[in-house]
Amino acid sequence: MDRKEAEAYQRLDPARLPRHIAIIMDGNGRWARRRHMPRVAGHRAGVAAVRSTVETAARIGIPALTLYAFSEENWRKRPRTEVDFLMRLLCRFLKAEIKTLNDNNVRLEYIGRKHELPESVQQEMEYAREATSKNRGMVLTLALNYSARSEIVDAFRSLAEAATKNGGLDHLEVTEQLVSEHLYTRGLPDPDLVVRTSGEMRLSNFLLWQLAYAEIYVTQTLWPDFRGVQLLEGIEEFQKRERRYGGLGKDKEHEHAPVRNHAGVKH
């Protein structure tokens, strides 16, 4: 850690770190535009942010980190040249970062409709996943060709297919736990904290089921400028909050507690 990261980490309670942090990486285009550079320059600069964030999260003991790297909507709404560049950048990133991931004991996984990506990209993804598969530290998940709505659709398709092989739909009892077991993120805890860079106030079709009770932290920092210290600042804000999961906070519980008469006191 550098000095700023060490100072930020000293303000944290290591016993209350999030089990899973999800990050919506946003602002590459604006970063490039402010510098009168092409959009692809922002994507290229964002790689350093990924590296710093992953290393910091792994070093402080975050069990799981998920990065929203490429959405299904990107296929349809981005210029072909930009999409092709992003695919090449992804392949270069995967090749270059295997050593760093192994040095930090990070295991790489993916969520999204991976089968729709170019075959060459799928091969690089599988190679990197296999090269880190023996690591037992943090799980780094890249959301690629990802859509939360598509994930939920795929989960229900999987549920229906499983039911037809096991007595039919009449015997299917759908529960929240069962749905969770058919999501892309099965095996991971739901995120405790979701970070969005660049100041935007939306979830952008990201982990809609899993983020039901996540704390949301929005920073004005554009993704290429985001580093480990900004991650630690987000965790610090997370630790200041009281998580109630739909219940009452401690003060509210006391405020709404039933009034009991003291023995011998008449009203």
| Catalytic residue set | 26, 74
Buried b (16+ CB within 10 A) or exposed e, 139-173: bbbbbbbbbbebbbebbeeebeeebeeeeeeeeee
Q: How far is CA 185 from the centre of its chain?
A: 10
Distances (CA, A) of 64 to 123, 179, 187, 206: 24, 20, 11, 16
Q: How far apart are CA 97 and CA 53, in angstroms?
A: 13
Residue 65 and residue 53 in contact, taking contact as beta carbons nearer than 8 Å: yes
Query: For residues 53 and 197, what is the distance between their CA atoms, to the nearest angstrom?
Result: 13
106 to each of 68, 75, 133, 141, 188, how far by Cα in Å? 17, 28, 9, 10, 15
